[in-house]
Amino acid sequence: MKTRALLVLGVIFFGSFIGRIAVLASDIAAKPGANDVAHLNQPAAVASCVDGELAAAVKDRMHALDKRETMITDREAELATYEAQVEKRLAELDVANNKLQKNIDAVQTARNADVQKLAAIYEGMKPAQAGQIINEMDAKFAAGLLAAMNNEQAAQVVANMDSQKAYLVSVILANQSQQSQ
C-alpha cells in the first residue's frame, strides 16, 4: 500500500515538474532575447500554465492527495500505537508464562518429594501389607509410587498384588519408560 501511494505521488510530482518545465520553456520562448530587437517594442504576452477546468481538476486532485496523505499518516500512527500495545501484551504474557512455569516447577518438585516420602514409607512396610494397600490405589498413581521405590522392594510388593492390577501397573510403567527414552 505504501509503495502504491509513493508511486502515485512520484508520478504526480513528475507530471508537475514536466508542466513547470513546459511553462518555463514557453516563457523563455515568449521573452525577447538580448539580440532580438524586433520584440522590444511589443508588450509581453501574459502566459498561463493551466487555467479553467484543468486548473480546478489539478487543484482538486492535489487536495484529495493531501487529504489521503494525511489519512495515511494518521493510520500509520494508529498502527504504531496498536503495535506498541501488542508488544506490551506479549511482554506481559511472557512474564505471566515464566511465573506460571515457575509455579508448575515448584508444584512438580513438591509432588516428587511427596512421592519419594510415600515410597520410603511403603519400602519400610512388609511387602504383603504394601501390596494390599497399593491394590486399592489408582493404577497410574501406583505405577508412579512403585517407580519411586527401590527395585527389590517394588518387585516384592508387585508379587503381593492382585495379578490383574499388577499387570496394569506394569504396562503403565513400561509405557512411562518408553516415553522417557
- Domain boundary assignment for the chain: 1-33+42-49, 51-108, 125-180
Pure H helices in the chain: 2-30, 53-124, 127-135, 139-148, 151-159, 163-180
pLDDT at site 34:
46
Compute the distance between CA of residue 169 and CA of residue 171 in angstroms, rounded to an integer: 5
Compute the distance between CA of residue 176 and CA of residue 138 in angstroms, rounded to an integer: 16
- 51 conformational bin, left if phi > 0, alpha if psi -120 to 50, beta if neither: beta
φ, ψ for residue 19, nearest 5 deg: -60, -40
Mean pLDDT on 51-55? 80
86 burial (CB, 10 Å; 0-12 / 13-18 / 19+) is exposed
Mean pLDDT on 136-162? 91
Residue 11 pLDDT more than 50?
yes
Residue 176 pLDDT more than 50?
yes
Could you tell me the pLDDT band of residue 46, with boundaries at 50, 70 and 90? Answer: very low
pLDDT at site 57:
87
Compute the distance between CA of residue 79 and CA of residue 76 in angstroms, rounded to an integer: 5
Residue 132 pLDDT more than 70?
yes
Q: Which residue has the higher pLDDT, 33 or 9?
A: 9
Q: Name the residue among 149, 100, 99 with its Cα closest to residue 125.
A: 149
pLDDT at site 117:
92
Distances (CA, A) of 142 to 41, 111, 148, 156: 118, 14, 10, 14
